Amino acid sequence: MLSLVDPGADSGLGRRCLRVEAHLGRDTGGGLTRWFDSSDTLFIRFLTRFAADCDYVHHFVTLRANTSMKGGGRWSGFGGAGLKPEGNERFSTAVEPWGDWGRNPPPGRWNFYSYWHEMTASRDGKYWGNSFPVPEAPAIPRDRWITVEFMLKHNTPGERDGEQAFWIDGRLQGHWTGINWRKTPGLKANALTLESYVTDRWTKNPTNVVFFDNVVVARRYVGPVAK
């Protein structure tokens, strides 16, 4: 369930923020997607806050590459869970809280969860996304605003010169290079989904709420909001 609400007088933000509420056994939460003109390098900055009792979240904020901005091509980067991309129709990367199958305290620790044509298979032989964890990352705090920013650099088609990185509250957490995101120049990251998708079997809280605000798509590093 989506709604626009007051972010709180102490937030230093605007008048409204996005509230996403998920109910176990009834729905999986929800989200919003925006398509945009891409660039060789993209920076995505947003603010988020997990409610004080928020449990594990399955999927979060995802950047997707689609073959077009129009018609059926604008959806080529959606779906495909468990399947390896071919390199000419989709790739994606998501910055997400990672619960590590209940080992990390909820909502988890930040990591990337990525699909591309050179990803590795899971133990069951399927392709469920490759994780880029930061083992030394602290547990994600609840009930306060967090600035999340991530970068994706497109590769030269067929070459392993793509990159991704992410920052939390202005601190670089991880930077990965040598990624062959795509085989064709027409495939570009051009859709951003803000989402709190809750289905994780480790999630016990019946209602889980996440807030989003101050979303920026840019060609250079943005940084935290000045309060």
This prediction has a pTM of 0.94
**Which pLDDT score, from 0 to 100, does residue 136 have?**
85
pLDDT classification of 65: cutoffs 50, 70, 90: very high
3-class SS at 136?
Answer: coil
Q: Does domain 2-218 have CATH number 3.40.50.300?
A: no
Residues 158-167 have a mean pLDDT of 98
pLDDT classification of 7: cutoffs 50, 70, 90: confident
pLDDT at 162 over 90: yes
Residue 14 burial (CB count, 10 A): 11
In the chain, domain spans: 2-218
For residue range 103-129, list pLDDT tens digits in order.
Answer: 999 999 999 999 999 999 999 999 999
**Which pLDDT score, from 0 to 100, does residue 124 have?**
93
**Which pLDDT score, from 0 to 100, does residue 138 have?**
84
pLDDT at 10 over 70: no
pLDDT classification of 11: cutoffs 50, 70, 90: low
Give the H/E segment covering residue 115: strand 109-115
**Residues of the chain with pLDDT > 90: what percent?**
88
Mean pLDDT score of the chain:
94
Q: Is the dihedral of CA 165, 102, 135, 212 positive or negative?
A: positive
Chain centroid, CA 60 distance in Å:
5
DSSP 84-108: ---SSS-EEEEEEEE-TTTTSPTT-
Q: Which residue has the higher pLDDT, 193 or 136?
A: 193
